[in-house]
């Protein structure tokens, strides 16, 4: 709870890990934070967003992760403690600046929390970001639970200032989304006072001869940090009674403890919390007398390869069980059954515990469940846009190449059977890649290229691609989905929203003004919910050569509904008139809105031409309907331009006239 995060007392609280990270930063007296949202660390941003007005913290939601990192690095150089957090692919975006910071160092404590995403729960690729730390010579800590995450983030500020370097705290999805009881220390925060960039007379430039000089210094710094990490309390040994040990880091430590308990074994366990630079002496002392060691780590064999190198000098005959031996996979995340099966085999334990059988039964049960694909929310403007585009592409689907991007609209990929004419699973790479990839396809292939990008992604990574399209007069249709917020990660504001943390007004940057400034002449702005006009605009763009830019504008349904409730405005839903519904189910089959379902009553209806219609009518759930009205446009028996009693889908207010219980 937010009240626990901001509590000034020494106490204990049940916290989500991302909340615990925020609490750690508060206890460390952080002054400046900057983020771009991304799961699984979005809640760090969201929590700071909610509490920023309670503290003297300056917060910015940056246009992308690179800018966020540069903000906090600059804040550190200017004399203030700072923090940023990003997901694994966000560190890719920030990596150019990140590597330079490895050379220049910083001033006041500066911490970067980054989260890898084993199993690709919310990412386009499964990355192992630990290699960033090693390649940039930047210290890295790895917690295994929220308590450790809080301790490490807080101590990371001290390490950062002691060694004048940014410090990484690496988490994974299963750590970020844990909750537990976390000890809280008192908040002894100081008043925000402007620092001085000149006070310490430091220079942060890194070119040519200066860079070569800095390289030697960072190697010295690495060795000093390594000596510090050799005695870090984040690395510890559980003394066991077997000659086969375990080395583990991150969330896998929890699995190891539980498996050892279930198998009733007590191997020596080395838990590593400082994973760059590795405490080689500490590790060597642990493995020198062991017969074998199991190395448990998700993703790449980062620890395994480095420990193997150590064993050649320390204990050449030791047996190493890990990815190289075929016991563990480099793919996906681990769990209790995976670790259990490896330990059972290695320690040759006979047991009647059958995880495989349990999982098989669970998978069998899953098969009888109805398929539930991820869909757009009721009232989502993207559903309306894609329905219109799908209609515009009738008869032309084999003549287009659709390039998608990262955002809520990525779910189009999972709805390919609904939007079959769009080939929605053709291509999706990374944020902003739709534009460059679209340009390349337009140069190489005969198909008409359609690039789709959201408003937040447009500001995040789309501007270079847009400049390139304009400069080279590419034959590309660009559809910009402008729903006013960064919706998929939790409706955080972006440069086009008009406000920032604590609702403070910000300059609202209009996408059309940016495009006109770049030099585009053909920019069309559509109301996402005006399906008929959208179809015409898409058809026109398909016939034109050169770049065609269509901004499809409509507010995120969740964000818009929340704003309406705050203002006391009513959400006016639609309803299906059961007395005249033809039971054709076009609204359900073509639009796939969660608010539209099948009524349970069998009904008959004879139209004005004497034709009998019978079956189960469509039904709109008023508690789900957002009132966007697109279903009334696509219904073949409703005239949205001249409303009448003959319409099948009517505005909810009409229902109130005949039903007084609403």
End-to-end CA distance of the chain: 36
Report pLDDT for 605.
Answer: 77
List the beta bridge partners of residue 32: 58, 82
Residue 498 three-state SS: coil
Strand pairing class (11-16; 612-620)? unpaired
Beta carbons of 142 and 128 less than 8 angstroms apart: no
Asked if 3 and 19 count as a contact pair (C-beta separation under 8 A), the reply is no
> Do 505 and 403 lie in a common domain?
yes
Residues 70 and 126 grouped into a single domain: yes
Residues 176 and 212 in one domain: yes
Q: Are residues 473 and 534 in the same domain?
A: yes
Helix 336-346 vs helix 355-367: angle between axes, to the nearest 10 degrees? Answer: 150
The answer to whether the beta carbons of residues 406 and 430 sit under 8 Å apart is yes
What's the rounded mean pLDDT across residues 201-212?
88
Residues 307 and 404 in one domain: no
Q: What is the pLDDT of residue 656?
A: 44
Residue 77 included in any domain: yes
Q: How many helices and strands in the chain, by DSSP H and E? A: 24, 25
Residue 198 resides in a domain: no
Q: What is the 3-state secondary structure (H, E, C) of 355-373?
A: HHHHHHHHHHHHHCCCCCC
Does 622 share its domain with 556? no
Q: What is the pLDDT of residues 447-502, one digit of tens each?
A: 999 999 999 999 999 999 999 999 999 999 999 999 999 998 999 999 999 998 87
Q: Report the C-alpha gap between 502 and 484 in whole angstroms.
A: 17
What is the 3 state secondary structure string of 384-450? HHHHHHHHHCCCCHHHEEEECCCCHHHHHHHHCCCCHHHCCCCECCCCCHHHHHHHHHHHHCCCEEE
* pLDDT higher than 90, residue 290: yes
The answer on 297 and 401 residing in a single domain is no
Same structural domain, 322 and 434: no
Domain boundaries, position 403:
381-564
What pTM did the predictor assign?
A: 0.93
Q: CATH code at 581?
A: 3.30.70
Q: Determine contact, residues 588/608, Cβ cutoff 8 Å.
A: no
- What's the total number of domains in the chain? 4
For residue 3, the tally of other CB atoms under 10 A from its CB is 8
Query: Chain-centre distance of CA 228, in angstroms?
Result: 33
Residues 46 and 138 both lie in one domain = yes
Q: Is residue 280 part of a domain?
A: yes
Q: In the predicted model, is pLDDT for residue 284 greater than 70?
A: yes
Among 364-378, 446-460, 549-563, where is mean pLDDT lowest? 364-378
Q: Are 490 and 46 in contact (CB under 8 A)?
A: yes
What is the percent of the chain where pLDDT is above 70?
Answer: 97
CATH assignment at residue 386: 3.40.50.970
In a domain, 157, yes or no: yes
pLDDT in tens, 40-86: 999 999 999 999 888 999 999 999 999 999 999 999 999 999 999 99
Nearest one of 481, 491, 461, 613 to 550, comparing CA atoms: 481
pLDDT greater than 60 at residue 206: yes
Q: For residue 471, is it within any domain?
A: yes
Tell whether 555 and 575 lie within a shared domain: no
Q: Are residues 510 and 626 in the same domain?
A: no
What distances in angstroms separate CA 69 from CA 35, 38, 117, 150, 170, one per listed residue? 8, 14, 20, 20, 15
Q: Domain holding 337: CATH number?
A: 3.40.50.920
| Position 527 confidence tier, pLDDT thresholds 50, 70, 90 | very high
Phi-psi category of residue 117: left, alpha or beta, with phi > 0 → left and psi -120 to 50 → alpha: beta
Strands 485-486 and 492-493: antiparallel
Does residue 612 share a domain with residue 546?
Answer: no
d(CA 47, CA 33): 12
pLDDT at residue 269 greater than cutoff 50: yes
């Amino acid at each position: 709870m937010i009240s626990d995060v901001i509590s000034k007392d020494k106490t204990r609280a049940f916290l989500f890990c991302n909340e615990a990270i925020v609490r750690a930063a508060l206890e460390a007296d952080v002054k400046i934070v900057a983020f771009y949202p991304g799961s699984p660390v979005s809640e760090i941003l969201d929590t700071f967003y909610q509490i920023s007005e309670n503290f003297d913290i300056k917060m910015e939601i940056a246009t992308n992760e690179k800018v966020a990192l540069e903000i906090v690095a600059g804040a550190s150089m200017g004399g203030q403690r700072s923090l940023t957090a990003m997901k694994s692919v966000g560190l890719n975006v920030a990596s150019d600046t990140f590597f330079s910071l490895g050379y220049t160092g910083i001033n006041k404590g500066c911490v970067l929390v980054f989260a890898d995403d084993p199993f690709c729960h919310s990412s386009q690729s499964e990355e192992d970001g630990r290699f960033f730390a090693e390649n940039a010579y930047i210290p890295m800590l790895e917690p295994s639970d929220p308590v450790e995450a809080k301790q490490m983030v807080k101590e990371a500020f001290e390490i950062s200032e002691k060694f004048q370097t940014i410090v990484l705290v690496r988490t994974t999805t299963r750590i970020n989304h844990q909750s537990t009881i976390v000890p809280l220390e008192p908040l002894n925060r100081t008043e925000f006072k402007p620092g001085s960039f000149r006070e310490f007379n430091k220079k942060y430039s890194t070119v040519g001869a200066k860079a070569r000089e800095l390289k030697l210094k960072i190697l010295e710094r690495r060795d000093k940090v390594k000596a510090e990490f050799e005695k870090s309390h984040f690395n510890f040994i559980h003394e066991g009674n077997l000659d086969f040990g375990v080395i583990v880091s991150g969330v896998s430590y929890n699995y190891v403890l539980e498996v050892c308990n279930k198998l009733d074994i007590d191997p020596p366990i080395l838990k590593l919390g400082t994973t760059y630079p590795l405490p080689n002496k500490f590790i060597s002392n642990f493995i020198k007398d062991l017969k074998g060691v199991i190395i448990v780590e998700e993703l790449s064999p980062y620890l395994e390869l480095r420990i193997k190198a150590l064993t050649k000098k320390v204990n050449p005959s030791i047996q190493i069980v890990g990815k190289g031996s075929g016991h563990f996979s480099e793919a996906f995340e681990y769990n209790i059954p995976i670790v259990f099966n490896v330990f059972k085999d290695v320690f040759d334990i006979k047991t009647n515990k059958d995880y495989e059988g349990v999982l098989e039964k669970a998978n069998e049960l899953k098969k009888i469940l109805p398929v539930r694909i991820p869909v757009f929310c009721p009232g989502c403007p993207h559903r309306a846009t894609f329905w219109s585009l799908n209609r515009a592409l009738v008869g032309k689907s084999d003549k287009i190449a659709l390039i998608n991007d990262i955002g809520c609209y990525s779910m189009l990929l999972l709805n390919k059977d609904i939007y079959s004419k769009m080939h929605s699973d053709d291509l999706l790479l990374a944020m902003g890649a739709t534009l460059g990839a679209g340009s390349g396809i337009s140069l190489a292939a005969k198909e008409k290229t359609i690039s789709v990008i959201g408003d937040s992604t447009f500001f995040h990574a789309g501007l270079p691609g847009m400049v390139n399209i304009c400069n080279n007069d590419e034959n590309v249709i660009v559809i910009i989905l402008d729903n006013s917020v960064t919706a998929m990660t939790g409706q955080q504001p972006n440069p086009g929203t008009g406000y920032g943390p604590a609702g403070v007004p910000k300059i609202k940057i209009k996408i059309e003004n940016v495009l006109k400034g770049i030099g585009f002449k053909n920019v069309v702005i559509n109301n996402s919910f005006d399906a008929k006009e959208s179809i015409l605009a898409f058809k026109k763009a398909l016939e034109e050569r050169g770049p065609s830019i269509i901004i499809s504008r409509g507010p995120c349904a969740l964000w818009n509904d929340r704003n309406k409730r705050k203002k006391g405005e009513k959400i006016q839903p639609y309803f299906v008139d059961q007395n005249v519904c033809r039971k054709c189910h076009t609204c359900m089959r073509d639009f796939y809105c969660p608010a539209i379902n099948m009524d349970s009553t069998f009904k008959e209806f004879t139209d004005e031409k004497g034709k009998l219609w019978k079956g189960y009518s469509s039904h709109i759930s008023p508690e789900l309907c957002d009132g966007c009205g697109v279903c009334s446009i696509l219904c073949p028996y409703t005239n949205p331009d001249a409303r009448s009693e003959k319409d099948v889908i009517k505005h909810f207010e009409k229902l109130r006239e005949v039903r007084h219980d609403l």
